[in-house]
A and B are shown apart, each in its own frame.
Chain A
Amino acid sequence: MADRIMQEIEDEIKKHKILIYGKGTKAMPMCGFTRETMQFFDRFGYPYEIIDVLPNPAKREALTKMTNWPTLPKVFINGQFYGDTDVLEPMEKKGELEPLLKEAFKNG
Protein backbone atom coordinates (compact mmCIF):
# COMPACT_ATOMS: atom_id res chain seq x y z
CA MET A 1 0.00 0.00 0.00
CA ALA A 2 2.70 2.47 1.06
CA ASP A 3 4.87 1.35 -1.86
CA ARG A 4 2.03 1.87 -4.27
CA ILE A 5 1.50 5.43 -2.99
CA MET A 6 5.22 6.23 -3.24
CA GLN A 7 5.29 4.86 -6.78
CA GLU A 8 2.29 7.03 -7.66
CA ILE A 9 4.02 10.14 -6.22
CA GLU A 10 7.26 9.38 -8.06
CA ASP A 11 5.35 8.98 -11.33
CA GLU A 12 3.51 12.26 -10.77
CA ILE A 13 6.59 14.34 -9.98
CA LYS A 14 8.31 12.88 -13.02
CA LYS A 15 5.37 13.62 -15.29
CA HIS A 16 4.72 17.24 -14.29
CA LYS A 17 7.58 19.76 -14.42
CA ILE A 18 5.74 21.96 -11.95
CA LEU A 19 3.54 20.03 -9.57
CA ILE A 20 1.58 21.42 -6.67
CA TYR A 21 0.14 19.03 -4.13
CA GLY A 22 -2.59 21.10 -2.56
CA LYS A 23 -6.11 21.37 -1.31
CA GLY A 24 -8.76 21.52 -3.99
CA THR A 25 -8.53 21.78 -7.75
CA LYS A 26 -7.54 24.47 -10.27
CA ALA A 27 -11.20 25.33 -10.74
CA MET A 28 -11.91 25.29 -7.02
CA PRO A 29 -8.91 25.76 -4.75
CA MET A 30 -10.02 24.96 -1.19
CA CYS A 31 -7.29 26.83 0.62
CA GLY A 32 -5.88 30.35 0.37
CA PHE A 33 -2.31 29.09 0.18
CA THR A 34 -3.10 26.75 -2.70
CA ARG A 35 -4.74 29.66 -4.54
CA GLU A 36 -1.73 31.90 -3.83
CA THR A 37 0.59 29.25 -5.20
CA MET A 38 -1.45 29.03 -8.42
CA GLN A 39 -1.36 32.82 -8.79
CA PHE A 40 2.38 32.75 -8.17
CA PHE A 41 2.97 30.29 -11.04
CA ASP A 42 0.43 31.99 -13.33
CA ARG A 43 2.88 34.89 -13.61
CA PHE A 44 5.56 32.71 -15.19
CA GLY A 45 3.44 31.23 -17.95
CA TYR A 46 4.70 27.67 -17.61
CA PRO A 47 2.15 24.89 -17.30
CA TYR A 48 1.64 23.42 -13.86
CA GLU A 49 -0.46 20.66 -12.41
CA ILE A 50 -2.39 20.64 -9.17
CA ILE A 51 -3.12 17.39 -7.42
CA ASP A 52 -5.73 17.52 -4.71
CA VAL A 53 -4.69 15.40 -1.73
CA LEU A 54 -7.55 16.37 0.58
CA PRO A 55 -9.50 13.21 -0.29
CA ASN A 56 -6.41 11.04 0.24
CA PRO A 57 -5.01 11.22 3.81
CA ALA A 58 -2.62 8.28 3.26
CA LYS A 59 -1.00 10.06 0.34
CA ARG A 60 -0.88 13.31 2.27
CA GLU A 61 0.94 11.50 5.09
CA ALA A 62 3.35 9.82 2.67
CA LEU A 63 4.19 13.20 1.12
CA THR A 64 4.80 14.74 4.54
CA LYS A 65 7.20 11.92 5.47
CA MET A 66 8.97 12.02 2.11
CA THR A 67 9.59 15.78 2.20
CA ASN A 68 9.88 16.26 5.98
CA TRP A 69 7.49 19.18 5.48
CA PRO A 70 4.21 19.27 7.39
CA THR A 71 2.02 21.64 5.40
CA LEU A 72 0.22 21.88 2.08
CA PRO A 73 0.74 23.05 -0.59
CA LYS A 74 3.94 21.24 -1.51
CA VAL A 75 5.65 22.26 -4.71
CA PHE A 76 7.90 20.08 -6.89
CA ILE A 77 9.86 21.51 -9.79
CA ASN A 78 11.60 19.12 -12.14
CA GLY A 79 11.26 16.34 -9.58
CA GLN A 80 12.78 18.35 -6.74
CA PHE A 81 10.91 19.53 -3.65
CA TYR A 82 10.87 23.31 -3.13
CA GLY A 83 8.46 23.78 -0.22
CA ASP A 84 5.89 26.50 -0.82
CA THR A 85 5.71 30.16 -1.88
CA ASP A 86 7.47 31.22 1.35
CA VAL A 87 10.52 29.53 -0.15
CA LEU A 88 9.81 30.26 -3.82
CA GLU A 89 9.24 34.01 -3.42
CA PRO A 90 12.66 34.71 -1.87
CA MET A 91 14.19 32.44 -4.55
CA GLU A 92 12.47 34.51 -7.23
CA LYS A 93 13.77 37.75 -5.69
CA LYS A 94 17.30 36.39 -5.76
CA GLY A 95 16.85 35.44 -9.42
CA GLU A 96 17.15 31.72 -8.69
CA LEU A 97 13.74 30.59 -9.84
CA GLU A 98 13.64 31.63 -13.52
CA PRO A 99 16.79 29.66 -14.45
CA LEU A 100 15.38 26.65 -12.64
CA LEU A 101 12.11 26.83 -14.58
CA LYS A 102 13.92 27.44 -17.85
CA GLU A 103 16.05 24.39 -17.24
CA ALA A 104 12.98 22.31 -16.37
CA PHE A 105 11.21 23.26 -19.60
CA LYS A 106 14.18 23.44 -21.97
CA ASN A 107 13.10 20.34 -23.88
CA GLY A 108 9.54 21.53 -24.24
Chain B
Amino acid sequence: MITTDTLTDYIRRAIPGAAVSVTDRTGTMDHFSIRVVSDLFKGRNLLDRHRLIYNALDQPMKDGRIHAVEIKAETTDGS
Protein backbone atom coordinates (compact mmCIF):
# COMPACT_ATOMS: atom_id res chain seq x y z
CA MET B 1 0.00 0.00 0.00
CA ILE B 2 1.28 3.42 -1.00
CA THR B 3 -0.30 6.84 -1.46
CA THR B 4 -0.64 8.31 -4.92
CA ASP B 5 1.48 11.29 -3.75
CA THR B 6 4.36 9.05 -2.66
CA LEU B 7 4.15 7.07 -5.87
CA THR B 8 4.16 10.28 -7.93
CA ASP B 9 7.21 11.50 -5.97
CA TYR B 10 9.14 8.33 -6.84
CA ILE B 11 8.45 8.87 -10.53
CA ARG B 12 9.22 12.61 -10.50
CA ARG B 13 12.52 11.98 -8.75
CA ALA B 14 13.61 9.90 -11.75
CA ILE B 15 11.74 11.87 -14.39
CA PRO B 16 11.71 15.51 -13.27
CA GLY B 17 8.71 17.53 -14.35
CA ALA B 18 6.72 14.51 -15.49
CA ALA B 19 2.93 14.74 -15.44
CA VAL B 20 1.82 11.68 -13.51
CA SER B 21 -1.70 10.38 -13.10
CA VAL B 22 -2.35 7.39 -10.91
CA THR B 23 -5.46 5.21 -10.76
CA ASP B 24 -6.06 2.63 -8.05
CA ARG B 25 -7.33 -0.40 -10.01
CA THR B 26 -8.50 -2.58 -7.18
CA GLY B 27 -9.38 -0.27 -4.29
CA THR B 28 -6.47 -1.69 -2.31
CA MET B 29 -3.85 0.95 -3.22
CA ASP B 30 -1.35 -1.63 -4.43
CA HIS B 31 -2.51 -2.30 -8.02
CA PHE B 32 -2.16 0.83 -10.09
CA SER B 33 -2.61 2.17 -13.52
CA ILE B 34 -0.06 4.93 -14.12
CA ARG B 35 0.15 7.41 -16.96
CA VAL B 36 3.34 9.39 -17.25
CA VAL B 37 3.76 12.24 -19.71
CA SER B 38 7.24 13.65 -20.22
CA ASP B 39 9.40 14.88 -23.06
CA LEU B 40 12.30 12.97 -21.54
CA PHE B 41 10.69 10.00 -23.33
CA LYS B 42 11.42 11.53 -26.74
CA GLY B 43 13.67 9.28 -28.79
CA ARG B 44 13.14 6.33 -26.43
CA ASN B 45 11.08 3.32 -27.43
CA LEU B 46 8.31 1.99 -25.20
CA LEU B 47 10.51 -0.67 -23.63
CA ASP B 48 13.02 1.94 -22.48
CA ARG B 49 10.31 4.33 -21.31
CA HIS B 50 8.77 1.60 -19.19
CA ARG B 51 12.20 0.59 -17.87
CA LEU B 52 12.70 4.19 -16.66
CA ILE B 53 9.42 4.01 -14.77
CA TYR B 54 10.12 0.55 -13.35
CA ASN B 55 13.52 1.76 -12.17
CA ALA B 56 11.89 4.75 -10.51
CA LEU B 57 9.50 2.41 -8.70
CA ASP B 58 12.11 -0.22 -7.86
CA GLN B 59 11.96 0.33 -4.10
CA PRO B 60 8.17 0.25 -3.55
CA MET B 61 7.88 -2.70 -5.96
CA LYS B 62 10.58 -4.65 -4.13
CA ASP B 63 9.24 -3.99 -0.65
CA GLY B 64 5.73 -4.94 -1.76
CA ARG B 65 3.99 -1.57 -1.37
CA ILE B 66 3.21 -1.82 -5.08
CA HIS B 67 2.04 -5.23 -6.21
CA ALA B 68 1.31 -4.46 -9.85
CA VAL B 69 1.33 -1.54 -12.26
CA GLU B 70 -0.06 -0.94 -15.67
CA ILE B 71 1.98 1.73 -17.47
CA LYS B 72 1.35 4.29 -20.16
CA ALA B 73 4.29 6.49 -21.11
CA GLU B 74 3.83 9.34 -23.56
CA THR B 75 5.46 12.55 -24.68
CA THR B 76 3.59 15.86 -24.55
CA ASP B 77 2.79 15.62 -28.26
CA GLY B 78 1.15 12.23 -27.69
CA SER B 79 3.80 9.99 -29.23
Q: A-side interface residues toward B, CB under 8 Å? A: 32-33, 68-71, 81-83, 86-87, 90-91
Contacts and interface: CB of A to CB of B under 8 A. Distances in A.
Interface string B35-53: 0000000000011001100
Given A69-B51, A69-B54, A71-B69, 18 more contacts: A32-B68, A68-B51, A69-B50, A70-B54, A70-B61, A71-B61, A83-B46, A83-B47, A83-B50, A86-B50, A86-B70, A86-B72, A87-B46, A87-B47, A87-B50, A90-B46, A90-B72, A91-B46
Contacts of A87: 46-47, 50
Interface residues of B, number: 12
B71 interface: yes
